[in-house]
Each structure stands twice: as structure tokens, then as C-alpha cells.
Structure 1
Amino acid sequence: MHMRTLAPLLAALAALAGLPAVLARPFDGTGTDFLLPRANPDFPNPNVDPFYQAPDSLAPAQNGQVLKRRPVPTTIQSIHLDSTYQLYYRTENTQGSPTGTVATIFVPKKPASPPKVLSVQWYEDAVSFDCSPSYALVQNSGSSSAVIAFLDIGIYTQWALSQGYYVVQADHEGPKASFIAGFNSGKAVLDGIKALINDQKLPQDTQVAMTGYSGGAHATVWAETLHEEYAPSIKLVGSVHGGTPVDPRGTLLLINKGPFAGFAFAGLIGLMSQHPDLDAYVRSILGDAGRKKLAEFTSNGYCLPSVVALSPFQDIFSYTNATDPINNPRVVKVLKEESLLSSYSSRSVPVPKHPRLIFHGVLDEIVPYKDNAQYVREQCAKGADIQFNSLVAEHITGELFGIVGVINFLKQSFAGEIPKVKCGSILPDYQIGLFDPRADDIMGKDIADEARSLKGKKSPFGGNF
């Protein structure tokens, strides 16, 4: 990605994020040909593309085993990129049953020696299968998420490739588009890393780091949480996430009736897709308007822009005929199982052993800062190695403010140079801003310039970076 392509891209993003009428359908534009929706005939919608369908060999396969593979032209363009592939691999859902999902992998032109892998999770934040990252990343895919995927994944992928790192981006919501279903997402991320290592025949002790923001941070925190028990063979040297939802109940209560109420609908539907008892209960209390809303959110092309723009200030509970649905035992059971707060979760919450950087805007209006701060306190009390950066920012600007610290932490993780500090504190190295001259040395000037150019532009969430 170069500056000459970024300006029209941002113009397209502004058009996409600015008007509800536009958000409900693919946008029109002229400057970003490889992003505009043209429905690439070689890569059809995942709902009809046979590549996304589970083969007969799925059940007996091992987690992370690649069952299908194909080269793919993506929206990520770099002089450091050799080739890009989609991998269909085996993983597990929340209930531990076999399922399959797709990851997009980026192979560097000059791989570092020894090899290193960066797993990037992006904020899909929708419950329609054709919002999957692998589809959004295809050139001319027709996906309503194309611009969002390009921006969210682009900077970190560009930087990693410039370092000679392999990059993997899993469809962590899986085939049911299970937004905010932690067990499902975490397993998909870990098995996606295994799939890349297997496909590229890398050593099993290859160093791996992870990063993600918002919905991508949710997948990242669950992957690091499940790592030791579910995929201990992965050599995880560091992870970074920001604006992280660690407790679905707290997030739902914050955003319901607010400008981002659409995420409450999407989150509930995502959890329903992984918890049959919850699904049965919610469907039993929905009125006609609620059933219509459910169909709307799961319809083709109803991706993050539509989720944000088309349901602001709505009360999710008003679509039911129940008096206190959030305290129904079947709802509470799922919310407790899907929480990473030890004080609320019904499970014992693991403490990852590797170094972590967590950042969060104290003014975050989408994901509660207090929940993340509590998570850090609880983890630190159990011996975690966490640096926690509290930003003077809300959710949208928090992503931009955290970029330099993310890359610096990832660089030092791979180098084994993360200083040991008191858990919950933060070193100045990870508080460097984009407009600090040191950002160029950390990120590379071209990539830093691209990130700086986002300031003041429209975010996929509707406000400005």
C-alpha cells in the first residue's frame, strides 16, 4: 500500500461510513479499483463458494490440518509480498465439535531466519457469513467489508512483511459468523496459526505473536487464554490487543440504546449461533419485529457498516416479550461462560504466561474501559506479565493512538527484548505517538506516514480517527 493509493481509499471509506443509505449496500467510487465490489467470478460469495464447504475429511483430521488450499489475489499489495493463499483447515467450535474455517496467509518475499509468524485478527463485527475476512480481502470480491479489512489489517501486514514475517489472518468467527463467541474464535485463531506453519512447512517451534483491536482483540484475548491448554505446541512470544471486550454482559449494557446499539444485536446473534439453549430461548421470546431483526442482521452483505448505521439508539430488549431477559438463567449461563472476568465467569480463567500489551481508551463508548482495567487487575493478581496503557481516547481514536506501541511491542517480542516491569504498568516505549519522530524508526517512514494520514478520516465505526 502506497500513499498514491491511500488517498482514494480514504475517500471511499468516507463515502462508505458517512451515509446510512450507502452503508446498506456496496459503495460506489472511482479511485480504488481493487476494492470496489465487482463480484470476482473466480472467488464467489462464501455462501455459494464450494471452497468454504466442509469436506468429508473434516472430522478425522487434526486441528490445524489444511484440507484445501488455493492462491488468491488480495487487496494487500507490497513489494515485500511473495504470494498469498487461502487455507481451509480443521478447528473446533465452542462445544468442541469439529468444524472448518478459512485463513488468508501472506508469504514474505525474503523470510526472516529463523522464520516468524504474526497472526492479525480484525474486527469483522458482523453475523453474516459473507463478511468473512478471507472474502473481504479478495480483490474485487464484492464484499461490503473490503475497505474495513484493508485498513484494519493493512498496516500491520505491511509492516510484518517488511520484516520478513509470515502473516496469517483467520476467519475467526467461523462458518456460522459467531461474533463475540470467545471459545470458537480463540480456537480458530490458534488453529489458523497451525495451518500456516503446516502449509509452509515451518519448524514447529516457530516464534508467533498476535495482535487485534476491538472485535479482533476479542479473538486475540481468547486465543491467548486458550493457548496453553488447547494449542501448547505454538511458541507464543507476545500478544497485543486494544479496545478489548472481555465481558459480553458489560459491553451489551454499555452499548444498548446508544449510537452503537447494533453491536448488541450482532453480539447476541453471534452467541446464539454457538449456544443452542440460548438460541432456543431467545427465539421463543422474540416478537415479529425481533424475528425480522434477526433475519436482517444475518442477511447477505450486512457487514460492520450496516451494523453500526442501521440500528442506533435501539433497545435490544424491546424486541422481546420477556420482562427481564438478561437475567434469565439460560442467558446468564452463557454470559458467565463467555466472560474473562474471574469475578463473574463461571469458569476458571487461565493466566497466559507470555508478555502482553493491552491498551484501552478511558473514554471508550463501545467497550467498557472499567471491564478491561478489572481484567488486568485480576490477571496481575495471578502472576500475569501485562503492560497496560490507558489512553486519553475513545474507541475509534484509541486504535490510531495505539499503533506505534503495538508495532514496537511486537518487534521486541520477536527479539526477546520485552523488559520485565510491574504487571499493569506501562513503559514509555509503548506510549509513543504517531507524530513522535521515533515512530518512523519503529514502523518505517512509509508505513508511519500511511498511519498518520488516517487521522481525521472516517472510521468504519462512523466517527473520525
Structure 2
Amino acid sequence: MRTAAAFVATALAASSVLALPILQLRALGPDGPLVPSNDSFYEPSSEGWQELDNGAIIFDFNARSVYQVLYKTTSATNESDATAATLFSPAEPVSPPKILLFLAPIDSASPDCQVTYALENGGGSNATDFLQTSVSLDITWALSKGYYVAVPDHEGSKAAFISGVTEALAGLDGLRALLNHNETLPSADNYTAVISGYSGGGHASAWASQFLSSYGQDLNVVAAAYGGVPVDLTSTLDLLSNTSGAYLAVGALTGLANAYPELDEFYQQALNPNGTETIELARTTCNSGLEAPLANVSVYSLFKDGEAVLQEPTMRKYIAAGRLGQPINDTSLTPVANDGLVSIPAFQYHSVTDETVAYAPVPAYYQGQCARGAKIHFSASPGLAHAVAFFAYAGDAFTFLDNALNGNITQTNCTDSLGIEKLPGSPEYIEALGQDAWSIVEMILNATGIALPGSS
């Protein structure tokens, strides 16, 4: 059985989409590429980099048609930060240029688990198969259409998983990095861009979409598609606690503390010894090594006061600020005030029976957006596991993004539907993905035995 890491190399290097090596090894140790914490690429070396504009390239690594760059961004606490992105140019780019800003489900609070490292080192990065598979599918689809692709480490250098502000700023600055990188994109004249992501990447995509009106006013982003989106921290903790997915809840608690020193200081007083050890494990271990030791852990058992910790003023502050769609203007939480409204047409999808990301708060979020003038098409589907929904909705999501990039969006207000329009395996689904991306889905189905609705 080939792992999902191999799908990236197969789909991008061996197909007609990109018939060149994906990445040369940027830094080698005795066991292959160095992890980000030991790789000087991730540390700005030039003087005065903090004074650069956000999205400015600090350093780039040339690997022919694929580059990894270090670019400037701003943290949630308004400090200069540097994070990395992988930039792809298609073999046959369309003109004017069209761009996919893909925010991958990194879902880790460890700086050594970034998507740039996973793209370079595949399975050796210890990233989850789901991260590598989703990256390969979205990148392959976009390149086959002639679209440029930016895949930033949107959690920033501190791996601030589930910090929506961090994800929005670093994500949008990742698009700026592509626009600034002439080796990948010779001219950005008349470009259009879209945002896409699922699960943790959907969280980042939704936050980036609602920050466009304030932080991204200069960017020509015309639409977004995202699914499996965590709306708030509490529902995530409640759903995942005492399950095999508890490591994701621990990662979310840790990533938020990585973003905000005040919350981290609160943890130092509120955690019991086991909780302190568990948070440290989440800061140093990728998800492939975190799932087993944290299986069925009660996240509230990490705190001295148990679930009552949620009522502590500091926790309440960050839980409230992390609720998707809420206005946020406290300067201790964001350097840029934001009204919480998605200002572009969006396609959002979610499984009603999602076992990993709670569905319960999603309808209220959607309705709240619609009441304020958003233009979202929301699709729900019952009976799908979290990972399955990503593949099942790929045809609908890619069609929406393709229509947006080609000026064919008709979404002028909120609409909703039940079920998937382009069923997996149908001619419409295969056409929406393209043959290269469909081949990836077929390989995954054959390797895992996953059954998608409509597929044979």
C-alpha cells in the first residue's frame, strides 16, 4: 500500500501537470531533510526583516517550478513573524493568472509539523495521511487547470493551531508572498484568487475570508470554498474529549496558547501536572505520533478545576474571541479589527454526522452570516464521516471555485441545500476534478477501502 505522501509525488511529479521534480532537498541531516526547528531556512537571517511589508519574501529556495519561500507576516499579538509557503506554477498557466490559496489542515501545535516540511519530506514528516492527501488533491486540481497555487504555513512560526487571527493573517500574507515572487508568478496583472480548505484548513479559510474586508482589502480574492469548519472551541472540546480524536482537542488548546502569551501564562497556573506534560507533548509531537498516547483522554481532566476552567475569565475571553463570525476588535487579540462577516461569495459544506468537527453550531453561524448580508451557499449531508466528506464534496467545491475564477459565480445571497450535487465517480464529478485529481481519489479508495456516496 502506498501512503498518501506518495500521492503528492505521483500526482505532481509523474503526471503531465508538473513533469519536474517537486522539491530538491533544502537541508539534509543524516536521516533526510531537517525538521523546521533545526533548519535555518525557517529563521530570518537578513537585517531589518521586521520592517518589511507583510507578504514580502525574506528568502526563497528554488526548485525549478516549485519554490519554498520564507515571508513576513504579523502575529495575533501584533509582532513581526516569519513563516514559510510552498509556491507552485502550472506547466501551462492561464492568462490573466488565476490563483488558489490553499490552506491545508495542518492541525498541529508543533512547529516541526508544518505543511512545507510535509511537502518536502512526505511520510518522513510525521504529518497525518489526511494532510498529505488533501494537499495532493487540491494542488493537482489547480495545476491541471493552469492555476497558480500558494500553500502557506498559515499557523505561523509558533504553530498557533486554531488561532483564527493568526491563520487569517498568515494565510492572506501567503497569497501576498506569491504575488511578490516573480520567479513563480512573472506578472500578477489582472489576477484573481480563491481560497480553499477543509477541517483545520477550513477553519483557516473561513477566518481568512472574514478578514478580507479589513486585512485583505488590496487582494483580489473573489470566492472561497471550505468545509468541516470548527465554529467554536467549546463544541470541539466537547465532541472530541474522551474519543480517539482527543489529540486534536489538546492540539487546539495548545495552539491557541502558542498564539497568546496571556493564555499560556494562565495554563501554567490552571493545568495539573499531567496537563502540563500533555500540553508539552502536543508542542513537540506531530499528529501521527500524538493520536495513540492521547486516545480517549478527557481534555478537562488536564485542568485542576476540570470543566469549570471554561468559566475562568481568561478562558472565557479566548473562547469568545475564537468564535467564528464574531466581531473582534480587542487589540490584545488582533492587530486588525474585524467585523466577522464573510464579504465574498462562499461555498460551505459539512456532514451532519461529522464525528470530528461539531455540526451543531454550524447552522447558527450560517444564519448569522446571512442575516448580515453574506453570500454563502451552505450544503449539509448526513451519514458521512469527517474525512469522507472532504472527498465526497470535492466535485462541488472545485466547481464552485472554478466558476468563481472564470467569472461565472451567480451567488448573490444565501442559499442552502441537502446532499451532494456531483456524486463521486459520476461523470460530472470526474470532470470537475480532472483526470489527474480523480486518479488520486481512485488510488485512495483502492488503498483504504473507503466507500464514497455514489461511487462504485
TM bin, normalised by shorter chain, reads 0.7 to 0.9
Contact 1:351 1:382 in 2 (8 A): yes
From 179, 189, 192, the equivalent of 1:197 is 179
- In structure 2, do the counterparts of structure 1 residues 140 and 162 end up closer, same or farther at CA, with 3 Å as the change threshold? closer
Task: Give yes or no for the alignment of 1:449 onto 2:439.
Answer: yes
Q: What are the residue-to-residue correspondences of 1:39-54 with 2, within 5 Å?
A: 40-41=28-29, 43-54=33-44
- In structure 2, do the counterparts of structure 1 residues 141 and 431 end up closer, same or farther at CA, with 3 Å as the change threshold? closer
Give the root-mean-square deviation of aligned CA atoms: 2.9
2:297 partner amino acid: Q
Percent identity of paired positions between Structure 1 and Structure 2: 28
2:435 partner amino acid: K
Task: Give yes or no for the alignment of 1:340 onto 2:324.
Answer: yes
In the comparison of the two structures, how many residue pairs are matched? 424
Which residue does 2:73 correspond to in 1? 91
Residues in 2 aligned to 1:229 and 1:99: alpha-carbon distance in whole angstroms: 19
From 299, 305, 309, the equivalent of 1:325 is 309
Q: What are the residue-to-residue correspondences of 1:204-283 with 2, within 5 Å?
A: 205-283=190-268
CA deviations 1:319-369 (Å, max 9, x no partner) are: 221251111110000111111144999986432222100000000111111
Which residue does 2:14 correspond to in 1? none
Classify the secondary structure of the residue corresponding to 2:250: helix
CA deviations 1:31-84 (Å, max 9, x no partner) are: xxx99x998448421111111013332211101110111124xxxxxxxxx611
CA deviations 1:141-197 (Å, max 9, x no partner) are: 831117444311111111111111110000011111111011001111100000101
From 106, 110, 114, the equivalent of 2:92 is 110
Which residue does 1:316 correspond to in 2? 299
Which residue does 1:410 correspond to in 2? 401
Residues in 1 aligned to 2:49 and 2:164: alpha-carbon distance in whole angstroms: 22
2:292 partner amino acid: A
From 139, 148, 151, the equivalent of 2:133 is 151
Contact 2:212 2:343 in 1 (8 A): no
Contact 2:4 2:132 in 1 (8 A): no
Residues in 1 aligned to 2:298 and 2:328: alpha-carbon distance in whole angstroms: 24
Which TM-score applies when normalising by structure 1? Answer: 0.84
Which TM-score applies when normalising by structure 2? Answer: 0.86
- In structure 2, do the counterparts of structure 1 residues 10 and 180 end up closer, same or farther at CA, with 3 Å as the change threshold? closer
Listed as ranges, the gaps of 5+ residues in structure 1 are: 1-6, 14-33, 73-81
Contact 1:57 1:67 in 2 (8 A): no
Q: Which sits farther off after the overlay, 59-68 or 345-354?
A: 345-354
Residues in 1 aligned to 2:323 and 2:329: alpha-carbon distance in whole angstroms: 5
From 290, 312, 317, the equivalent of 1:307 is 290
Residues in 1 aligned to 2:53 and 2:412: alpha-carbon distance in whole angstroms: 38
Shift of 1:318: 1.2
Contact 2:210 2:338 in 1 (8 A): no
Contact 1:339 1:345 in 2 (8 A): no
Listed as ranges, the gaps of 5+ residues in structure 2 are: 8-21, 331-336
- In structure 2, do the counterparts of structure 1 residues 146 and 318 end up closer, same or farther at CA, with 3 Å as the change threshold? closer
Residues in 2 aligned to 1:314 and 1:38: alpha-carbon distance in whole angstroms: 37
Residues in 2 aligned to 1:417 and 1:11: alpha-carbon distance in whole angstroms: 34
Q: Which sits farther off after the overlay, 394-403 or 339-348?
A: 339-348
